[in-house]
Amino acid sequence: MSVTKRVLFSFFAAATLTCRLSNAFNIVISGPGSLEVQLIAGKLAEATPGDVASIIVPADPRYLKKCRSLLYDDGSGDIQYAPDGPALVSTGDEIGDALDVADFLLIVCEEQAMENSRIDLLLANAPLVKHVGLLSRHGGSLKNLENYLESKCDSARISCSIVRAGILKGGGPGEGGEDGRTEWGLAKYYDNTIFDLLQARTSMAFDKLTLGAKVTAGDPFPFRGGIIGISQSNQSFEPSDTTTARTLAAGALLAAVRRDNGVDVSLSSAKGKIPPTREDWDSLLDAASY
């Protein structure tokens, strides 16, 4: 793309930010968990007019290139310039600027909990945040983290939502909408990074046929991890209580923090060719909150 076109894109992007909708939000995403979920959440957030998403990532050129490929590469190796994608913030100034105006904070965890000190640092530098969403895990292994975050949010009078996932699956673009071009998750490049043929086929099938969501109150499901559990999961795209689509984990987090009150739920997979709409998520979360 020419320098002139890039300047025009920057001008219009700046104008969009200046004229943000009154009901638009700033969202900051961080955590030691699934990079794919974080990127999908940022991509979904930016698809809402006026919303601005920033993802905290390491200041490593190779890591940044990987993120951009997962977001935008159509599989050809040519990363298209995308002025409306989530911002990837790495430096202290970039992270500070994003947190200064953050309405929502998403924390993504998987096997590893975020350190308490890092949660303290994020909240201390996000004076406007009104809702924090945590992606946790089925089975209670991150219960200490959940309790700590809830306690911190209660003290600060901030809403807190806990969304638990099972074994995370999929994350690619799926079949898309009627035009065949809409991406539900990451770009085609993501599918190309799965080198095991059976796992790749299962993942792509999951992104096409298992995009329905089941939301259950509390934490009723075990986490079926370990080598055997994950190996069996990688061979099936059938829905189950203990598997969760990465696209749905991202969508559920965003839907949760956009609510006034927090939720405490577990997320499972269900049959479906398209992910829930915002209205669908509201209904699912409402039903699991009573």
CA 139, 168, 70, 192 torsion-angle sign:
positive
- Per-state percent for the chain, helix, strand, coil, to nearest 5: 40, 20, 40
pLDDT at 232: 52
Could you tell me if 229 and 266 are in contact, meaning their C-beta atoms sit under 8 angstroms apart?
A: no
Please report the pLDDT score of residue 21 as a whole number. 52
Those residues of the chain that have pLDDT short of 50 are 1-20, 228
What's the confidence (pLDDT) of residue 108? Answer: 98
Residue 225 confidence (pLDDT): 64
Q: Write down the pLDDT at residue 234.
A: 61
pLDDT tens digit string along 85-135?
899 999 999 999 999 999 999 999 988 999 999 999 999 999 999 999 999
Domains plus CATH for the chain? 3-287 (3.40.50.720)
Q: What is the pLDDT of residue 10?
A: 40
| pLDDT for position 231 | 54
| β-sheet bridge partners, residue 162 | 134, 264
Measure Cα distances from 75 to 20, 69, 182, 193, 239 in Å: 33, 9, 15, 10, 27
The predicted pLDDT at position 78 comes to: 67
